Amino acid sequence: MERASEREPARVAAIDFVRGLVMVLMTLDHASSAFNGGRLMVDSAAMFRADMVLDPLQFVVRWVTHLCAPTFVLLAGVSLALSVARRQRDRMAAWRIDRDILIRGTLLVGLDAAWMGWMWRFGPPIQLGVLYAIGVSMIGLIVVRRLPPAVVAVLGILIMTAGEAVTSQLDPASPLVAATLTGGRIGAAYILYPFLPWTGFLLIGWALGTRLARSGMRARDWLALAAIAAVTFAVVRGVNGYGNAHLLRRDGAWIEWLHVSKYPPSLSYAALELAIAFALLALAWRATRLWRPLILLGQTALFYYLLHAHLLHVTAAVLGVHRALGLGAVGLAWLAALVVLYPACRWYLGVKRRHPTSVLRFV
């Protein structure tokens, strides 16, 4: 077990714990992607028709994993801020810090295109996902990190709140618009995670990580942020207009309240997932003990991410059941992937710690 500190400015166990929890949920979603013949993918107005009936169980299995991408991107910003703060305390030159951020961002984009992109469809078009969004956002942070943290946070909030107004004035068929704002196909690539809307999560994470490194955070700070985000969600989803990316409630049922747009991320989606993420951080912050396996997965998140989808999709294809089974098979595949990958992550973390200055520090 590992103790969580209220104000520890370096690597915080609570952050790794929540990131590890997110990785577990992400594995459920991608096990469903590999094995589930009835998987629901209606997370945007473009994917959903007004006459569709949402199966509650399939919906919940998909919905609980909505937390993954926003939390992953948010905590990438927090962790990057903590890393930069440590390097600044060690008097590392600013250009070296920028170089490492550039290498990390470029590596993420390259890994998404060359390693992850083909896996989801077993062929073209390659799908650029969350690593693409994080990588490009990190590269942009080289400039933005010079701004005061409060300004960075406001910029992130503006991206989340104003994105829908901007995209409504642009041509979604434009390759530039697809790559940056709305998503869509560009030649041999399909942009599922256009980087600019997701940059908002990274910028907010950066601002919070900077605050954490300088003066610390308390559980009540995370709870306050969770309350603000929850109220924002309730108002935006309740009004049922702007901020929902045209994926509106058809009635007042719980499933309609939770059926928000992820592609691209609407304001209601962002507020709901941030409320949950902040609440989880508050709970982890107050815990005197945290479950070590989740902390370990949080510390090896990228390594785990690069392996898990291939393990699930290749296994399903080899068995001849790719996207052909039900939720029972999804659950078994989910647990099996965790059992197989946990020892691999434990081994990798040991190797990485024995070689702290190697290229592995970028993975």
| Residue pLDDT, tens place only, 208-228 | 999 999 988 999 999 999 999
pLDDT the model gives residue 3: 40
Is the confidence at residue 323, as pLDDT, over 60? yes
Give the count of beta carbons closer than 10 Å to the beta carbon of residue 115: 13
Average pLDDT, the chain: 92
Is the confidence at residue 9, as pLDDT, over 70? no
The pTM score is 0.93
Q: Tokens at residue 329, please?
A: 């098979």
Gap between the Cα atoms of 336 and 334, Å rounded = 6
Comparing CA positions, the residue from 259, 227, 226 lying closest to residue 244 is 259
How does pLDDT run across 75-131, given as a tens digit for each residue?
Answer: 999 999 999 999 999 999 999 999 999 999 999 999 999 999 988 888 788 999 999
Where is pLDDT greater, at 209 or 352?
209
Is the confidence at residue 72, as pLDDT, over 50? yes
Is the confidence at residue 203, as pLDDT, over 90? yes
Q: Is the dihedral of CA 299, 301, 302, 307 positive or negative?
A: positive
214 CB contacts (<8 Å, ≥6 apart)? Answer: 9, 85
Instruction: Check: CB of residue 59 under 8 Å from CB of residue 255.
Output: yes
pLDDT the model gives residue 25: 97
pLDDT the model gives residue 90: 92
pLDDT the model gives residue 33: 96
Q: Residue 134: is it exposed, middle or buried by C-beta count within 10 angstroms (0-12/13-18/19+)?
A: buried
Gap between the Cα atoms of 357 and 362, Å rounded = 10
